[in-house]
Amino acid sequence: MALLGNTASFLGGTITSAPGECWPTASYTASWSYIPSPMDSPNVVGVVNGTDPELQDQHIVVGAHLDHLGIIDGRIHNGAVDNATGSAVVMEVAESIAADPLPRPVVFVLFTAEEVGHFGSLQFVAEGPIPVEKIFAYLNVDHAGRDNPSFDDILAAGLKRIDPRVEEVVRSANLRAGVALHFMESMREQDYSGSDHYSFDQAGIPSVVYGTGLFEGYHTPDDDAEFVEYKFTFDMAKITLETVMELGKKTTTLRHRN
């Protein structure tokens, strides 16, 4: 089942599905006038319902941005690492969860307009299909495919900003995933605010961001598929899936920022 339309009509509807049903084409539209001509651009939203009736108001949201920079000075910027890899990880995890649903419902989102101000995630938090108070946690994937000499494999950030138990969730998940995680204990606000997780963080929702950091060719025409190091994409998919599964357990508890 797909729900398509503008924000008002989408929000006026209802979201219903059998446990485990996935809607890969569900979307709603965000509008903005950041660029000279107003335009519409969709977020893409899929939902896998949970299996425990008591937890249906505790949604896990997993997201990545699907936009990039387009054509600049006549040259296409494809954004293979930033962020086709992250989008691919989210879709792979969605497929796995849909095959074996968790007690909590999981919402998968590919956000628009991250590169021009996080407009897609801001709209989702402000007027999206899931009220903020019904979002249990948010997991963001941004850059999942290039080596960064500053750390071993995958950066994990934001773990203690709202609820320190998020770090426990990640560490427990990585006992199964077994990837090399670099725990960023603290970041400057201007650095931490660089992707869609910040929209959820500012709404008081426990959040974590996974990424492989900045890389050679970042925001240039050289960010193409031929330069993706797929080992990192594979590892990102493993830790993302295991983190979602850990968040989905009935015994996992987190709190929002008051």
Phi, psi of 111 (to 5 degrees): -90, 140
Query: How many CA atoms lie less than 13 Å away from 60 in the CB half-sphere?
Result: 33
| Best CATH choice for the domain 7-248 from the list 3.40.50.300, 1.10.10.10, 3.40.630.10, 3.30.465.10 | 3.40.630.10
Domain positions in the chain: 7-248
Question: pLDDT at residue 36 above 90?
Answer: no
Rounded CA-CA distance 22/125 in Å is 21
pLDDT band at residue 59 using 50, 70 and 90 as cut-offs: very high
pTM score? 0.83
pLDDT band at residue 184 using 50, 70 and 90 as cut-offs: confident
Question: pLDDT at residue 81 above 90?
Answer: no
The verdict on whether omega for the bond into residue 43 sits within 30 degrees of 0, i.e. cis, is no
pLDDT in the model for residue 52: 97
Average pLDDT across the chain, whole number:
80
